[in-house]
Amino acid sequence: MPNLEFRKEDIVIGPVEPGSFDLVTARAVLHHVADADKAIANLIASLRPGGAILLIEPDFLPVTIAEPPEVRAFWSGWLAWSRDRGIDYHIGRTLAPRLAALGIEKIGATAETAIYNGTSLWADYWTQTVKELRQDLTSSGKLNNALIDTLLGCCADPAWWTQTIAFTAVHGYAPGRE
């Protein structure tokens, strides 16, 4: 059986049919791409003159004020763990200037953050994610079982309210718009 494993740095992305598309979009993928600038440039290269681009990516800025402090410490460890794995959970706030630097015009953006409590669907998402990654999180040295247990306890408490991800949507147009 062939080896189906791959590394992010082995993936080569280029413009698809350069200059051909009215709309190019990517959602929740660029934060996992090793060279996001190159990927964004390739997306833009696929636009026809005046074509629109829409990028939607996470920004974990809300976790910097999470309560209680142990949950904030969990997220600090999570972000350190993700950086070591090449995941950029702060990319959302960088999209507008990246598009501007590549010549995109009439840029607009918005961010939306879900506010949720323990036992909600978001809390269940984080519970399942953290349980699945627990061994990797602890073996990385970025998080310990006590911080993980604190987050999981909060996620099980319907009286606990928080916010985690600001999904940032940025849009603009390639030069040549009529």
Confidence of residue 19 (pLDDT cuts 50, 70, 90): confident
What would the mean pLDDT of 70-88 be, rounded to a whole number? Answer: 97
pLDDT at 15 over 90: no
List Cβ neighbours of 89 (8 Å cut-off, separation of 6 or more): 31, 58, 59, 60, 79, 82, 165
pLDDT at 16: 76
pTM: 0.87
Taking residue 109's Cβ as centre, other Cβ atoms within 10 Å add up to 15
What does the domain layout of the chain look like in residue ranges?
Answer: 8-173
Confidence of residue 11 (pLDDT cuts 50, 70, 90): low
Q: With contact defined as beta carbons under 8 Å apart, do 154 and 122 qualify?
A: no
Query: pLDDT by residue (tens digit) across 168-177?
Result: 999 999 998 6
Query: pLDDT by residue (tens digit) across 50-60?
Result: 999 999 999 99
Confidence of residue 1 (pLDDT cuts 50, 70, 90): very low
In CATH terms, 8-173 corresponds, of 1.10.1740.110, 3.40.50.150, 3.40.50.300, 3.40.50.1820, to 3.40.50.150
User: With left for phi above 0 and alpha for psi between -120 and 50, is residue 17 left, alpha or beta?
Assistant: left
